[in-house]
């Protein structure tokens, strides 16, 4: 979940990144 730090940086893509989190989880 270290990637979350990068996701936070891209607030705009945060919504899209959430999908990636689901795949990683």
Measured distance CA(25)–CA(12) in Å, rounded: 21
Q: Is the pTM above the cut of 0.75?
A: no
pLDDT in tens, 1-25: 455 555 555 555 666 666 676 666 5
Measured distance CA(9)–CA(4) in Å, rounded: 9
Which residue is listed with tokens 């919504």?
Answer: 15
């Amino acid at each position: 979940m270290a990637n979350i730090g990068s996701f936070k940086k891209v607030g705009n893509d945060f919504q899209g990144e959430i999908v990636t989190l689901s795949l990683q989880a």
